[in-house]
Amino acid sequence: MTEWQEREWAYFLDDNKDLAYCDTCLDCDRECKQSFRVISIYCPYHEMIVKERARERRKKKR
């Protein structure tokens, strides 16, 4: 592993040197996982789900 790759993976390692992903990504089966260190997640699939749920809530309120 090159130095660059080690630094990149260090972003995903927690204090125990285990890979750690953000809570939103844990149950996702896609490979675009994001680090537990992210503050704001960007995931087109997650955004789609959030929008669908909001749309369903608006329909229920009517």
The counts of H helices and E strands in the chain are: 3, 0
Identify the band that residue 52 occupies on the pLDDT scale cut at 50, 70 and 90.
Answer: very high
Residue showing tokens 């260090």: 10
Looking at the 3D structure of the chain, how many domains does it have? Answer: 1
Q: Is 44's pLDDT higher than 90?
A: no
Mean pLDDT of the chain: 86
pLDDT of the residue at 30: 87
17 strand-pairing partners: none
pLDDT, tens only, 53-62: 999 999 888 7
Q: What is the mean pLDDT of residues 11-32?
A: 86
Q: Which long-range contacts (CB under 8 A, 24 or more apart) does 29-38 make?
A: 35/11, 36/12, 37/11, 37/12
Place of tokens 């503050």: 39
Q: Are 25 and 34 in contact (CB under 8 A)?
A: yes
The whole-model pTM stands at 0.58
Domain residues for the domain of 36 are 3-61
